[in-house]
Structure 1
Amino acid sequence: MSEADTPIDSTWIAANPLPVHGRGTTKNSRGRVLVIGGSRKVPGATRLTGEAALRVGAGKVQLATVETAAVPLGLMVPEAATIALPEDEQGEIGPADTALRSALEACDTVVIGPGVGTPDGAARLLDIVLDTARDDLTLVVDAMAIGCMRDVGDKVAAFGGRIVLTPHYGEMAVLCGAEEDEIAADPRSFAHDAARTYRAVVALKGSDTVIAASDGTSLHYGGGGTGLATGGSGDVLAGAIAGLLSRGATPLVATGWGVWLHGQSARRMATVSGPIGFLARQLPDEFPHLLPQ
């Protein structure tokens, strides 16, 4: 950790409170999240993201995924609405402009990328979202969609800094056109370069997580342990950040809290289940215990 980094610890958490929802709160005022992702090969990714958003307090969640997975997903997550999107021959989301337009109008935060398996598919979906930017819409870009940001830099200005990127080292390497070992050698510099380029908050995930904002702010989280190195863990983190954004947290506060909740939940699971072997889908159950009452 650089001396310029602020650790995400109890002091930071206390100094950066989340929005409070008091008497008269409705499910709409607590925030509406749209998750776009999934594929025939990875149909459950959006479940992880959507449940994480709900567990951090989002009021409503919509899960937009391939049509063959939509109904089973809706039964698995009855608290969320599902949107069946066209499916191509590869089992990926096909052209979906019409199906997504109304859903984008009815949400506060979009997550794009979990479970999407091809760069072309991710790029097509990202274009739809970026073309519908609003002053009150925030965006979390995850997984395969992160690398596609390289080709749409001219469109991100419309979001006015309301974008969060959640890459691991491999995804950051694609975004920056670098080698993965270069990212690992200097994650802080790459995170800050990307934050400035895309006017975004960047959570660069590794054994430790570096969070960089476009204004030069730098946060650091010491990691939740090796148990987080498991399939679906990143999908959960993206959902946690999105849920907090939808509730009204700023991109930096939502990202810091999301990373902290994700890591602290893993630490809690490790004390009960052991340091490895717990599942990504178990993490969101811990979030309510860690959120302020």
Structure 2
Amino acid sequence: MIPLDSAWIARNPAPVHESGTTKNSRGRVLAIGGAAQVPGALRLTGEAALRAGAGKLQVATIASAALLLGMAVPEAGVIALPEEDGEIGACGDALAKPLAACDALVVGPGMSDPGAAGRLLRHLLTAAGDDIALVVDATAIPELASCRDLIARFAGRIVITPHHGEMAALTAESADAIAADPEHAALRVARDYGAVVVLKSDDTVIAAPDDTVLHYLGGGIGLATAGSGDVLAGAIAGLLSRGAPPLVAAGWGVWLHGHGGRRVATRRGPIGFLARELPDEFPRLLPQ
């Protein structure tokens, strides 16, 4: 495994935008998710995408949460989606224009019902264009197993961000087996789906379809907090939208997330800080 450290970061720079760049050319992210149970998760994802340098953000969530989300993230365009039992329902054509106007799509943060997540994921895999980069997060991850017929055309443009439980659900292995050999599990899924896999834990393993494996030693126990994964997914999506290849976007996203956690911990203490505090650190860590 290759250490994901300052040397790797130096060898694999994040995109740098020249003078004259517009908010559209700097990168456009569409984040889709949320539910009545966790209506604020998409705020974390969206803010992380912007703090990672994306120029434009759209967020799509259940209709009952859309107005409040728009007020919480005034920089974002908001799409109110049909709602069924507190989850995103059948979208019809509501996402056609937003999908056509994004460079990177992140789906899953804040969703809690696997059935709803699966239906949304299949809709997006059918409707999204061939040039969109995709981040699959949270409850949407296990549903990839039922979408194998649709996922092939996205090979080389996908990042999957599971923790051990989500990886276990995707692969039908136990969480203990995943923890015993995370490198093997991450490589297996990376090869099967043509995806970069960010297998999150105290030590994070990032595997690519070409068998490259990165290892990040972690940003501290404080990152084991609600919403932390939503932030990571948004950071990766933001970097993808700016033109970073999937492995570079995943590596930089994990590094920003971990080092952001370390910086917050120096002010707040090792535990007890909030996921919403992490994105504020990203601009200080990104290249100018």
TM-score under structure 1 length normalisation? 0.97
What residue is the counterpart of 1:222 in the other structure? 217
Is 2:13 aligned against 1:17?
yes
Measured in 2, the distance between the counterparts of 1:276 and 1:97 equals: 43
Residue of structure 2 aligned with 1:53, choices 49, 52, 56: 49
Is 2:38 aligned against 1:42?
yes
Select between 42-51 and 99-108 the one with higher mean Cα deviation. Answer: 99-108
Residue of structure 2 aligned with 1:176, choices 171, 182, 189: 171
- The superposition leaves residues 255-287 of structure 1 with CA deviations (integer Å, 9 ceiling, x where unpaired) of 000000000000111111100000000000000
Measured in 1, the distance between the counterparts of 2:123 and 2:20 equals: 34
- The superposition leaves residues 28-65 of structure 1 with CA deviations (integer Å, 9 ceiling, x where unpaired) of 00110000000111000100000000001100000100
Q: SS state of the match for residue 70, structure 1?
A: helix
Measured in 1, the distance between the counterparts of 2:130 and 2:138 equals: 24
Residue of structure 2 aligned with 1:201, choices 183, 196, 201: 196
1:242-257 to 2 correspondences below 5 Å: 242-257=237-252
- Which amino acid in 2 is paired with 1:182? A
- Which amino acid in 1 is paired with 2:229? G
Is 2:123 aligned against 1:128?
yes
1:36-185 to 2 correspondences below 5 Å: 36-88=32-84, 90-185=85-180
Q: CA RMSD in A?
A: 0.7
Contact 1:133–1:159, Cα closer than 8 Å, also in 2: no
Contact 2:63–2:83, Cα closer than 8 Å, also in 1: yes
Contact 2:32–2:109, Cα closer than 8 Å, also in 1: yes
Measured in 1, the distance between the counterparts of 2:64 and 2:128 equals: 28
Q: SS state of the match for residue 148, structure 2?
A: coil
- Unaligned ranges ≥5, structure 2: none
Q: SS state of the match for residue 87, structure 2?
A: coil
Measured in 1, the distance between the counterparts of 2:89 and 2:147 equals: 19
- Which amino acid in 2 is paired with 1:112? V
Contact 2:236–2:253, Cα closer than 8 Å, also in 1: yes
- Which amino acid in 1 is paired with 2:17? H
Measured in 2, the distance between the counterparts of 1:74 and 1:23 equals: 30
Measured in 2, the distance between the counterparts of 1:134 and 1:76 equals: 29
4+ residue segments displaced more than 4 Å: none
Measured in 2, the distance between the counterparts of 1:18 and 1:136 equals: 20
- The superposition leaves residues 56-101 of structure 1 with CA deviations (integer Å, 9 ceiling, x where unpaired) of 110000010000100011011000011000111x201111131111
Measured in 1, the distance between the counterparts of 2:99 and 2:170 equals: 25
Contact 1:62–1:80, Cα closer than 8 Å, also in 2: yes
Q: CA deviation at 1:157?
A: 1.3
Residue of structure 2 aligned with 1:289, choices 272, 284, 288: 284
Measured in 2, the distance between the counterparts of 1:108 and 1:121 equals: 24
Identity, in percent, stands at 65
Contact 2:16–2:287, Cα closer than 8 Å, also in 1: no
Measured in 2, the distance between the counterparts of 1:14 and 1:269 equals: 23
The size of the alignment, in residue pairs, is: 288
Measured in 2, the distance between the counterparts of 1:245 and 1:8 equals: 18
- Which amino acid in 2 is paired with 1:247? R
- Which amino acid in 1 is paired with 2:161? T
Q: SS state of the match for residue 175, structure 1?
A: helix
Q: CA deviation at 1:19?
A: 1.4
Contact 1:57–1:243, Cα closer than 8 Å, also in 2: yes
- Unaligned ranges ≥5, structure 1: none
Contact 2:107–2:140, Cα closer than 8 Å, also in 1: yes
TM-score under structure 2 length normalisation? 0.99
Measured in 2, the distance between the counterparts of 1:99 and 1:132 equals: 11
Measured in 1, the distance between the counterparts of 2:221 and 2:236 equals: 21
Measured in 1, the distance between the counterparts of 2:272 and 2:167 equals: 26
What residue is the counterpart of 2:27 in the other structure? 31
